[in-house]
Amino acid sequence: MDKEQLINAAKKITSNNTAAASLLAETSEFLRIYAGEKSSFYKQLKDVNLRAGDDYIMRLVKDTLDAFIRFYESGLADGISIERRAQIDVVSDFLEQADKLLENKSVHPAAPCVLIGASLEEFLRNWVEELALTIGQSKPSLDTYCKALKEADLITKQDFKDITSWAGLRNHAAHGEWEEVSDKKRVSLMLEGVNLFMRKYGK
């Protein structure tokens, strides 16, 4: 669901003429899915006591949805620091270089594979540092950054699996295990996946 669809869906809920308890349930689930369980919008409705009265619940739900709509309409949900945007642009440039290396028949797929893996690690590292997440005493790596983001519920289980797979490929290439990264199509799929991942979370 894109930004416009999200705003329209929220507006549709606010126009519903339904019972307070039903409206609260629908709105809470909507915000849980699209704002996230850690968002202030969801938390504001999560523990509302139904005994508070229908008028209070209706007003709270509509005020919360209105705030959510204003948040998205003002572009605040797209907010990303200038520094982070610059870092993402640099990583994107490296991925473009990897794409060119893949097109070069004289270059072994291990070379772009290492570059893709390093680009992904830099993307995750910047993300983790911007949010001040901790990796504890673990050595900085694709895996540790990935785990930190998963524990913070910022990436999905599928993202976690994909990154683990990409990290495995990068490690094969970095350790000179050429037979494991000799398939150019496999590395191309890695590049495509990393690009999609970055577009998804680099907004």
Q: Are 166 and 116 in contact (CB under 8 A)?
A: yes
Domain count, the chain: 2
The answer on 122 and 68 residing in a single domain is no
- What's the confidence (pLDDT) of residue 162? 95
φ and ψ of 75, to 5 deg: 85, 5
The CATH number that applies at residue 106 is 1.20.120.330
What is the percent of the chain where pLDDT is above 70? Answer: 92
Structure token pair of residue 96: 């473009």
For residue 188, which of 90, 87, 107, 122 has the smallest C-alpha distance?
107
Region 105-129 average pLDDT: 92
Which domain does 22 fall in, by range? 3-78
The answer on 64 and 95 residing in a single domain is no
Q: Where does a domain end: 78, 99, 128? A: 78
Q: What is the average pLDDT score of the chain?
A: 86
**DSSP conformation letters of 44-79:** HHHT--GGG-HHHHHHHHHHHHHHHHHHHHTTGGG-
The answer on 100 and 64 residing in a single domain is no
Structure token pair of residue 107: 């270059």
Distance of CA 16 to CAs 24, 45, 146, Å?
Answer: 11, 17, 40
pTM: 0.58
Q: Are 60 and 45 in contact (CB under 8 A)?
A: yes
The answer on 138 and 110 residing in a single domain is yes
Q: Where does a domain end: 78, 103, 134? A: 78
Please list, residue by residue across 132-164, b when 16 or more beta carbons sit within 10 angstroms of its beta carbon and e when fewer do: eeebeeeeebbbbbbbbbeeeebbeeebeebbe
The answer on 98 and 54 residing in a single domain is no
Q: Which of 13-22, 138-147, 163-172 has the lowest mean pLDDT?
A: 13-22
Coil, strand or helix: which one is 172? helix
The answer on 103 and 191 residing in a single domain is yes
The answer on 21 and 108 residing in a single domain is no
Q: Where does a domain end: 27, 45, 78? A: 78
pLDDT tens-place string over residues 41-80 = 888 888 888 888 889 999 999 999 998 888 877 765 555 5
Separation CA 147–CA 150 (nearest Å): 5
**Type of residue found at 60:** L
